[in-house]
Amino acid sequence: MDRLQLAVFASGRGSNFSAILDKIKQGALDADVKLLVTNNKNAGAVKTALVHKIPFVFIKRSMFNNRQDFVEKMLMILKEHRITFIALAGYMKKIPSEVITEFKNKITNIHPALLPCFGGKGMYGHHVHEKVLESGCKVTGVTVHLVDDKYDHGPIVAQKCVEVKNDDTAKSLADSVLKVEHQIYSEVLQFFAENRVVIQGKVTKIR
Ligand code: GRF
């Protein structure tokens, strides 16, 4: 078993990033977070990285004259930090296809609903939970999936349900779902650390 040499990509609050760091500290996840990558200097995740003395890189497409330079720089950064696995945790940008190819089946994302429902472009944050409530679904949940070139689309690795209660609001639902996110993401990353994820097309199995 190899400890994952993780890069976490985050654009916002960073509570999943913190949860991953906590699980590593508790010995529940065999990984080292080598790097935080963000497109948002003001992200809460950056503050967490500073507290934990984890290197962070601020990089976004608009900092470069062309896409190629941006992608090359991103790949170079990941190589320099000897990253073996990428965990997206509230990262609001698409991952360049070259990075997906370089890290084939080694990039995961966490989504606050049960994919393939309530995913895709524009389905983030409160939008997801509002749509779940509007739909009348009695369960929602969390999905951890591999990343491919479409939003919220790659093979599903794990899901957990959360009940939608009569008096739930988008906010209360987000809170309940987030608690489960903090649990499940590290569990899934540990499956990868233990090399237990078998991927056959769209279907994954934990052996
Ligand atoms: C989470 O709900 C996650 O599922 C989604 O973005 C949110 C990020 O929250 N992809 P945080 O920044 O980890 O607190």
For 11-27, what is each residue's pLDDT tens digit? Answer: 999 999 999 999 999 99
Return phi, psi of residue 13, to 5°: -45, -50
Distance from the CA of 36 to the center of ligand 1, in angstroms?
A: 15
What does pTM read for this prediction?
0.97
Q: Which of 9, 16, 124, 147 to mutate to test the pocket of ligand 1 (most atoms within 8 A of CB)?
A: 16
What's the whole-number mean pLDDT along residues 90-115? 97
Among protein residues, the one with the nearest Cα to ligand 1's atom 14 is 15
For the CA of 91, the closest atom of ligand 1 is: 10
For 153-202, what is each residue's pLDDT tens digit? Answer: 999 999 999 999 999 999 999 999 999 999 999 999 999 999 999 999 99
What's the whole-number mean pLDDT along residues 124-137? 97
Reported as a pLDDT band with limits 50, 70 and 90, residue 6 is very high
* Ligand 1 lining (C-beta closer than 6 Å): 10, 12-16, 89-90, 110-112, 178, 181
Active-site option among 111, 127, 129, 145? 111
Return phi, psi of residue 187, to 5°: -60, -45
**Residue 174, helix vs strand vs coil:** helix
pLDDT higher than 80, residue 1: no
What's the whole-number mean pLDDT along residues 45-70? 98
Give the torsion through C-alpha atoms of 69, 75, 78, 81, to 10 deg: -70
Q: Which of 121, 128, 131, 178 to mutate to test the pocket of ligand 1 (most atoms within 8 A of CB)?
A: 178
- The HSE-up count of residue 10 (CA atoms within 13 Å, CB side) is 26
What's the whole-number mean pLDDT along residues 60-89? 98
pLDDT higher than 80, residue 143: yes
DSSP character for 183?
Answer: H
- Known catalytic residue: 81? no
For the CA of 110, the closest atom of ligand 1 is: 4
pLDDT higher than 90, residue 93: yes
Query: What is the structure's pLDDT at 2?
Result: 82
Q: What is the mean pLDDT of the chain?
A: 97
pLDDT higher than 90, residue 44: yes
Share of the chain above pLDDT 90, in %: 98
